Every structure is written in C-alpha cells, then in structure tokens.
Structure 1
Amino acid sequence: MIDPFAIKRHSKVDPRRVAFTAFARLSDRVATSRFDRYALPLTDEGALNQVVESEIDDTDVNQRQMDVLSKHLAAVQQRLPGAIVEIGAYRGVTTRRMAEVAPDQQVYAIDPYIGYGGSDVDLAKFQARNASVANITHLRKPSGAGLADLAGTPISFIFIDAVHDYVNVRFDGGSWFKLLRPGGMIAFHDVDDIVFAGTRRAVWELARQATLVAHVPGLVLLSK
C-alpha cells in the first residue's frame, strides 16, 4: 500500500506520482458517486443517542461523538490495556480527552503540522493544551513515518482524524489496523459527509475485515 505522503517526495512530473495522483482523484470520484452504497448502519448507543450534538471548542468532534469515543476507549482499556494512537491531532482536544480516560496508558499523537488541516497555530494550541499531560507523546511526523516508531508497541485503540480523502484514510486505516491488538478498536471521524466521501469508502472497505462496534453520525468504531 502506497504512503500518500511518501509519494510526494517525487517530482510532480515523476510517472509514479502522476499515476498515483490520477488514481487518488478517480478513487474520490467513485466514492462520491457511490456515497450511499458505502454507508455503514447506524448503531444504537442507548441513552447516548439522546445527547445534544453540541460543539466543543478547538475540535470538529462534537459532544455526542466525544462521549461515544470515550465510552468505548474506557471499555477497551478495562479488558485490553494498551497504548492509544491518534492520527491527526489538530489542537489536541481529543488527545487530552483520551489521555484523561486512560491515564495509565500512553497516548501517541501523530501529526506533522505541515498543512492539511494542521498549521503552526494549531500546533501551538496543541502544545499549550497538553504540555502538562504526562501520558501524551507527540510524534511530529506523517502517519507512515510513525509506523516504524511504534512497531512492536501493544496498541489497543486508534483514532484516525487526519487527511480526509480515500488514499490517505485507506493507508492510515489499513496500515495501523495491522498494528492493532486483536480485540482492539479503531475509530474514524467524518465518515458521513459527502465532502469527505473517500473517508466513508475507505472505512467501509476496512469494515469488511473487522466488526462494527458503533456508528453515530460522523463517527465509526471497528473492532479487530
């Protein structure tokens, strides 16, 4: 599987990059045209379904999604303690929340802050919010580069909220899923917005080799 960030090391006129770019664009067009086909069923989260979908400052994860994410992270840590990986940390709100839910586990936030939704301003906010949190480690590098750093680390929970196109979500989901402990969970944000149709398609494909645990609007959790 090709790392979308790694391919950008080549010149824009390199045949490998030209071919990959064409594939990426076509893949997202297919995802948009078949958006409804790639929908996963919504699940019943009980009383959590009644939570108002209020916004949270400095993140696109709403309160309902945060509650569902926290609930399942806590459940995983009770039966399968292990490290937590976040791909795409933005301003560190979900990073800190996961660190609070699992204070005995290390949270590895992987984000290079080189654009694609992560700027120097966002990095400064991430650092200010999490500098005092002992169980957060920031790896300032792309997802693919972080794989080597954490190979062999027992990982029980992964949250992916990075570049929202098909090739990136497919790479992030597929690559990190391989490092996930059996019984662990992987979560994806922004799965129900047609603007990010490629995200939905990539998650739908991964779900065929996993178990759907939860799906509330905008958030999917799968178990390995």
Structure 2
Amino acid sequence: MRTVIDPFKIKSKPKYHPGRVFQKLGSMLNEHTSKKGFESFALPERSLPKNGERDSKISDQGSQDTAVTDTQRAVLLEALLITEPLDFPVCEIGAYRGHTSRFLASRTRRSYLAVDPYIGYGAWKEDMEIMLDGTKGLNNFKHFRMTSGEASKVITGLGFCFVDAVHDYANTKFDGFTYGQKLVSGGVIAFHDTDNPQFPGTRRAVYEVANSEIGFDLLFHVEDLVVLRKR
C-alpha cells in the first residue's frame, strides 16, 4: 500500500518549521514541472454513451453554486450508477455548497460521505451552511468536517469517490492515492478540473494515479473530468 504525505498535516506545523518550508519549495517545483509538461500528462478522451433516460434526469440541474457542468454531471451519474451494485459507501472530497453532493446522494441507496473542513481553500463556514441546508432530508448523507487526511483514518472501503478539493499536485496526489486505495475492485474514482491549465498539478497527479500500481482503467474522460475504475 502506497503512503503519500498529507499536505494539510504539514501545514499544521508552525509557519517557519523546516518541514513546512521544504513543502512550500517542493510545491512550487512540482507546479512548475506540471505546467511545463502539461500536454504530456493528458489522458485519452472517452465520452459518455448516449443515454436519453439518464440525461433527462439532469436537464434542470444547472447552478451557480457549482463548477460541475451538465456534461460532467451526466458522467458522474453514469459512474455512480455503474457502482450501485457495490455495497460500499460513496465519498466526495470537497463539497463546497453541496450542489453535486445533493445531486449524487439523492440518486444512490448507499451511504454518502462528504468530506470538507470548510477552513478556506475555496470553502468557508457560510458555504457549509448552504451545503447543510441543501442536503437536509437526505438520510444517507453524512458530513465529515475534517481534512481528507483526517477523514481517511475513519473511512474504509468505498465503491465510488469524487475528488474536487484543493487543485494542486500535492493535494490531488494525496487524495487520489489515499482514496483510490480504499476502493473495492470495480470501484470508481472521479477527478474534477483535470484539463484546466490553471491547475497543471491536478492533471499531473491524476495521470500518475491512473498509471499507478493500484491498477485502474480509464472509464470516462470528458473536458475537465477523469473517471477511473479499479480493476
């Protein structure tokens, strides 16, 4: 089992702690390397087959509370339904205002675990309140207000995981390897913002996870969304 350093664990140290300074320098180098090799870390495109019945379920789901597009939402729904026979929970890393959380959690019978500490990095307490209000009434929904590293200590086997958290190399790599290894055989992990030049580290990290010893097959790849299935 591969162990990857948790960036948030290092960030908990004092600002001028040697480990934190080293992490900062390493992060800058990794992002530079990722940007320089951006094109080389692209994965093949793999679109969603036409399916009018499932597509119709998402036709009215657009919202300013999410960066997930209708096309990406359709792919996430397909991936979720593919894993529905697996009797293992669904997990989302980075819930923001809960729009995607509500959409997916309402379409599965399984437990839905949303991980987001709401300490900045794109999501604050006000966003959490919107998320909690929007997911009220979903009996299968549970929020873990902690970092993905902290949550990884209590979350075990998974059937599906959607990673849409901190978009840099170190964090995407940590989430990808940590939660990718928690998937059961046939389980799926999806990554958002994989083709955006603003987040070159995310693309590189997903490429490395996809080609890692964990053993994944590319299930879908549409603009800014990669979905991998564990063998």
TM bracket, shorter-chain basis: over 0.9
Provide the aligned C-alpha RMSD in A: 1.7
State which of 90, 96, 99 in structure 1 corresponds to 2:96: 90
1:85-164 equivalences under 5 Å are: 85-102=91-108, 104-151=109-156, 154-164=157-167
Check if 1:61 corresponds to 2:68.
yes
Q: Which runs of 4+ in 1 moved over 6 A?
A: none
Counterpart of 1:13 in structure 2: which amino acid?
Y
- Higher helix proportion: 1
Aligned equivalent of 1:24? 27
Q: Distance in 2 between matches of 1:146 and 1:214?
A: 27
- Partners of 1:56 and 1:63 within 8 A in 2: no
Q: Distance in 2 between matches of 1:207 and 1:118?
A: 27
Q: Distance in 2 between matches of 1:109 and 1:188?
A: 15
Check if 1:202 corresponds to 2:205.
yes
Check if 1:193 corresponds to 2:196.
yes
Q: Distance in 1 between matches of 2:210 and 2:62?
A: 28
Counterpart of 2:89 in structure 1: which amino acid?
A
Q: Distance in 2 between matches of 1:143 and 1:223?
A: 20
Q: Distance in 1 between matches of 2:185 and 2:228?
A: 11
Deviation at 1:47, TM superposition (A): 2.5
Aligned equivalent of 1:213? 219
Deviation at 1:2, TM superposition (A): 1.2
Check if 1:179 corresponds to 2:186.
no
Deviation at 1:55, TM superposition (A): 4.5
Aligned equivalent of 1:166? 169
Q: Distance in 2 between matches of 1:20 and 1:182?
A: 33
Deviation at 1:180, TM superposition (A): 0.8
Deviation at 1:69, TM superposition (A): 0.4
Counterpart of 1:68 in structure 2: which amino acid?
V
Deviation at 1:46, TM superposition (A): 2.7
Structure 2: 5+ residue stretches without partners: none
Deviation at 1:57, TM superposition (A): 3.0
Q: Deviations over 1:114-150 (max 9, x none)?
A: 0001112211110110122111000000000001111
Aligned equivalent of 1:44? 47
Q: Distance in 2 between matches of 1:150 and 1:167?
A: 20
Q: Distance in 2 between matches of 1:67 and 1:45?
A: 8
Q: Distance in 2 between matches of 1:195 and 1:56?
A: 22
Q: Distance in 1 between matches of 2:111 and 2:12?
A: 31
- Partners of 1:213 and 1:223 within 8 A in 2: yes
Check if 1:223 corresponds to 2:229.
yes
- Partners of 1:83 and 1:155 within 8 A in 2: yes
Structure 1: 5+ residue stretches without partners: none
Counterpart of 1:85 in structure 2: which amino acid?
C
Counterpart of 2:107 in structure 1: which amino acid?
V
Over the matched positions of the two proteins, sequence identity in percent amounts to 39
Task: Please report the TM-score for the alignment, with normalisation by the length of structure 2.
Answer: 0.90
- Partners of 1:83 and 1:157 within 8 A in 2: yes
Secondary structure of 2:154's match?
helix
